[in-house]
Each structure stands twice: as structure tokens, then as C-alpha cells.
Amino acid sequence: MPASTPSPAPPAPTSPAEPDAEGTTDSAQTTSEAPDDTRSTTAASPAAQDPTGEVAGETPGVPRGRGAGGRLARLRAWRERYPRAARAVWWATTVLSVVLVYLALLLPVPLTGFEPRMLLRLPGEAVVIAAVLTALPRRPRVVVAALGGAGLAALTVVNLLDMGFGSYLGRGFNLVLDWELLDDARSYLADSLGGTTTALLTAGVLVLVVALFAGMAAAMVRIGTVLGRDAQQSTRATLVAGTVWITCSVLTVQLAGQPLTVHRAAGALNAQTDRVRDTLRDEAAFGKEARADRFGNTPAAQLLPDLRGKDVVFTFIESYGRSAIEDPVMAPGVDRTLASSTAALEKAGYRAKSGWLTSATYGGSSWLGHSTTLSGLWIDNQQRYRTVMASDHLSLTKAFRKTGAWDTVGVMPGVQKGWPEQKYYGLDKVYNAFQLGYQGPKFSWSTMPDQYALEAYQRLVHGKQRDKPLMSEIILTSSHQPWAPIPKMVGWDQLGDGSVFGPIEKAGRRAGDVIADTTASREEYGKSIQYSVTALTQWLERYGTDDTVLVFLGDHQPISRVSSTHASRDVPVSIVAKDPKVLDRIAGWGWTDGLRPAHGAPVWKMSAFRDRFLLAYGSTPHPSGG
């Protein structure tokens, strides 16, 4: 020890093996402060000593005890030797602990439209935490603080997921249903950014989660230790803070235009609890709803009699939402494409009518939009989707197959594994990403350009002689996020096996340059919709016949970063045909002529489309299931 001892620095964080602030001494302390002659029995060999006689790598005068006691003794010696550094470390760790817990208690906040002033709040949970930790004795306080910190870390992870889901899918994270979507997100990143980058990001996220749990537990223990140093003073401060919080809450005091007092952590916990409870209740209620079907017992002869002899094509365009048509950034280009495509189709003898459908999903989970449209049921979560896929509820596509008057086929370039949903949709044959003959490059998530998928459909299915007309379901994927690189139209006779797209893919923008840039994402999204609509309408001009009926729509709006946080869930839907009788059947719907629905055109829930379509084309309801 130095001859003159400086004033002691504030104590380092305590642990169960360290004396508490009130002076309690543990056995570990007694061990660590054993007489020096005891330590001499473990002296190092001469090779491990320097000429002064001290053991190499140790500080003179610092005990060499092993275990927690030895470490605490060395820490005390370091604090006494370097008081200013010890004081700085003490304050830094205390402030960081308070900031970490404070920020966690203010979650969730919106990712889109976030402003720093949203953090100028007084969380009521902080007062409760301070009161509990102040009231407890030392050892229970450490245990409660550590467990509370781990619980707060778990809530923080859920809140961060909630924020991400709100930003991308327009809804909160569901603890029961949404864990499996995290694997879909990882697959999306792998397709967009590459496997190596995704693996590094995944590893980084896992490390951060582990660090969050450890850091939050340590932060709560640190705060508890500080509060326990002077229980009377801490109690008075807690009472003052509680009084201030209640007063400001009752008087609705505001700071920077927002309420000063909040209880977000408690609100988030309640919201998750309510969401889990509602999910469990919904499972039974929706199962009953799915068993009831307005057309469940309709005989085959009474289904779709007014479309007999027509080739009917249902096409979903990925992320084709209302924002593409009405947002000031995307709309000018998309509207020009819709206008020119309408004119080109009219020149080829086609007419179109268009309206709006409100999608069951937003920003992603396209299969929910597909199933809602074709089942006539509102399918807005994975549990409902699984229930319907396992049911006998009549899908619109299966209605065509039930008649026996159509061959049914699906073209699914986004499907890269087994697809058991084929049975529910009543498709005789499904062509996935590996069965369309494509040999060109992927365009980020999309396995092939829409133009190629449509040409493959023509070559493999639509262009062949058949005994029956054809009902087809086609999913176009080129407008899937991150909208980079985007394909370009090439001559239809030049498509070949798709290799022609190699230079186009190389010359396109990289996903990493677009995915985090809101302005670029919006611009490229609009271009991708223009491409998909152009490819589809050119296919119809080139290969459609007098008996072709095309129904195409979006499955959902793009993510809120592109469509904006206040965007609707509406998507455009159009029916195109040469035979005027086809459009006459829907004249009462009030839809707009052409491919661009008017702003005030009728808006239906997407789940209403199946029944309206079946009724419009002559189907007779015969309910089943009660």
C-alpha cells in the first residue's frame, strides 16, 4: 500500500460474494483478506519472479488469492491505487445501466417516423422498480434484480420484433404464431444479400441478444446496489419521483408536444398477453367459420356456368398495392404504364374493369392474400391459414376443378420446395421454380423474371392443344422486395432458357444499395410494378384469344417504408376479356373502365371476392356446415 492512502472511490458493483453496502461481510471476504504469510506458501518459482522479488504479471502489494474472493481483493486494491479511474468507471457503469434500463422501458416506439423527442418520457415502471429494489435486503435484491433484468431483456426482444413487424407487415408480433416467420425472414435476406452476409448478420443478432440479457441483468443489479447504499435517501427519492409521475399523469403534463409520463413496458406486456389470449380464442371460432360455406354443397353443374368454354387466368402481382397508383413518387410511372397498357389491350380487342380490394395482409406474407381471395375467408394470420389449408372449404380455383369442365394448373416461380397447398387449391398440376426451365440468374428474391415465367406458362401449358379449357393460377414475383435488381423487357422471341437476362441482372442495382434507402426503395418499387404489369399485359396481347379471361390483382401493399405508415391495405384488381358478356356480368359492381381503378371506385374486403365472382358468373349457393 502507498504511504498516503487517497480518499476511497465509490464502490464497485457488488455481487453475492462481496460485502454489501450496509457492511455485511461474507466468508469470501474473510478468505480474500487472509494474512500475507498464508499467501507466501504459494510463491512462484524463481523463473516467474523479477529481480525485485515480485511475481511476474502481478501488482506489488495486491493479494494473489484465487476465486471470487481473490478477485474482489485485487479490485479493492486497484480502487485504492487508482481512485480517479475507479470513480470514473463507477459513474460510467452506473449511468450506462440507468440509460439501458430507461430505454428498454420506453419501448416499443415506431421505426418509421421515429423522433428523438419520443424518448423524453418518464416511465412509471422505473418508479416501481426503484421502490422494489430499495425495499429488499441485499441478497434478495441481487436475485430479484438479476431475474428482473432478464425479464426486461426478454420483453425488449419482443418489443423490437413488434417494432419490426409493425414497420414491415403493418401489425404487431404474435408470440404464438410468428416465430416461424423469422426463418422466412432469414431466407429472404439470404436471397437478397447472399448466404455469407446473412450468416454473419444472424450470428451478430444472436450475440447481441445474449449480450442484451447479460447486460440488462447486470444493469439492474448495479441499479439495485446503488439504491441499497442509502435506503432512506433512495426511499425519499422514489417517493418524490412517484408523486411527480402521478401528478404529471393526472394533469396530462406534456413535454415537446407529448405526454411526459408513460407506462410502455406494462402496456407492451398487456398487449402481448391480450394478443396471445385472442389468438387462442380465434382458433376455435375460425374453425367453426371455415366449416360453413355458402357454396359448399353446390352441385358441379351449378358452378360458374357463365364462364364455360373460357380460359380463365388468375394472376397475383407481388406487392401491387394502392400506393403504386396513388403515391406521388411511384404513381406517375405506374399510371403511365396502366394507361398505355389499357390502350394496347383495347387495340387488341380487350376491355377491362378495375376496383379495389382490402388485403388481409400488409407488407409481406403474400400467401395470406392469395388464400383470402380464393377462399372467401378472412385469413390474416398463419393459424387461420393452416386451418383453411386443412379444410374442405371450397376455394375459387377448386370450384373450376369441381365442375369437371376445366383443367387446372398453377405456375409458382416463388415455390422452391414441396407445396401441399396444391390439394386445397384444386390444381391438377403445379410448376414450381425448378420446373419452368429457367437457366438465367435470380433477381434477388425472385427466382426468374415475370416475362420468362409467362413465356414458360405459354410454352408448357397455355399454348398446347387441350380437350378442355384451362383455369390457371399464376404468381408473379419480380415486384418482390427489395426491388433490386429489376428485370427489363426483352423480345419475346429472345427469351430462350433465360440466359439473356444475365447482363441485365449484372447491370442492375444491388439489393444492399436499395434495401436501406427509403427513396431508392420507393423509386425501384414503382419500376418493378411497371415491369410486372407490362409483362402480363404484353403476354395477353401476344397470346390471348377470344376466350381468354384475365383476372389480376395485388396480394398486398409494399412495406410501410415504401407505402408510408398511414397507407391503406387496398390493392387494385382488374378483369380483362374480349367477350363483352364477361364484363357485362360485373356491370353492377361499379368498377372503373380500364386497368386503373378510380380513387372513389368501390372497395371490398378481399374475402368478399370469391362469393361475388361465383354469383356474377351464374353459381347457385347451396350452403354447407351450418
For the stretch 98-147, pLDDT in tens is: 999 988 888 887 776 667 777 778 888 888 999 999 989 989 999 999 99
State residue 37's pLDDT score.
Answer: 37
Most confident range (mean pLDDT) of 70-79, 359-368, 414-423, 534-543 is 534-543
531 — pLDDT class (breaks 50, 70, 90): very high
DSSP string, 575-586: EEESSHHHHHTT
Calculate the alpha carbon distances from 477 to 123, 511, 534, 558, 590 in Å.
45, 15, 13, 13, 29
**Whether the predicted pLDDT of 162 surpasses 90:** no
Provide φ and ψ at 458, rounded to 5°. Answer: -65, -45
Q: How far is CA 157 from CA 149, 200, 219, 275, 337, in A?
A: 12, 19, 16, 16, 43
Percent over 90 (pLDDT), the chain: 50
How many CB atoms are closer than 10 A to CB 210? Answer: 11
Q: What is the pLDDT of residues 471-502, one digit of tens each?
A: 999 999 999 988 999 999 999 999 999 999 99
Closest CA to 34 of 86, 72, 82, 81: 72
Mean pLDDT, rounded, for 248-266: 81
Q: Would you tell me the crossing angle of helices 396-403 and 366-375 to the nearest 10 degrees?
A: 50
User: Any bridge partners for residue 552, and if so which?
Assistant: 315, 574
> How far is Cα 95 from Cα 79, in angstroms, rounded to an integer?
19
Q: Is the pLDDT of residue 310 over 90?
A: yes
CA-based nearest residue to 353, from 531, 588, 615: 588
User: Could you tell me the pLDDT band of residue 349, with boundaries at 50, 70 and 90?
Assistant: very high
Q: What is the pLDDT of residue 552?
A: 96
pLDDT of residue 626: 60
Angle between helices 83-105 and 138-169 (to 10 degrees): 50
Task: Note the pLDDT of residue 47.
Answer: 40
